[in-house]
Amino acid sequence: MSSPPERYTLHLSRQAARDLEGILQYTYETYGDGPRHMYAAALDHALATITGNPGLGHRRPDLSDRHRAFTVEQHVVVYTVSGQRINVARVLHGRMDFVQHIPH
């Protein structure tokens, strides 16, 4: 008999929550309500995917060994896993300097 799959909980840092708000506000102001809803759905799907399988994120040379990165559209969700908790540190545009924005 197989054991049930592990359950992870997702926690957004205050900064990650602000990142998401800013991303969606920018998308709305630049592209309109329809694209904002589509981007919000893509971000929600990415967070759900990470929660279901946190090992999908990859390591980056510009981040500490404990951080993982998961790309969604033009952005990257940066997170760590601690036990059964996924801690989202930031959601950054792929062109940003991650070293400046992620604490080590």
- 46 within a domain of the structure (yes/no): yes
pLDDT of residue 99: 83
Asked, for residue 41, whether it belongs to a domain, the answer is yes
Q: Is position 67 within any domain?
A: yes
In terms of Cα–Cα distance, which of 76, 74, 54, 75 is closest to 66? 54
Q: Is residue 60 part of a domain?
A: yes
Counted domains in the chain: 1
Rounded mean pLDDT, 77-100: 94
Q: What is the CATH number of the domain that holds 55?
A: 3.30.2310.20
Residue 6 has pLDDT above 80, yes or no: no
Structural domain span for residue 54:
9-101
Average pLDDT over residues 36-54: 97
- Is residue 3 a part of any domain in this protein? no
16-29 pLDDT, tens digit per residue, is 999 999 999 999 99
CB 79: neighbour CB atoms within 10 A? 28
pTM: 0.90
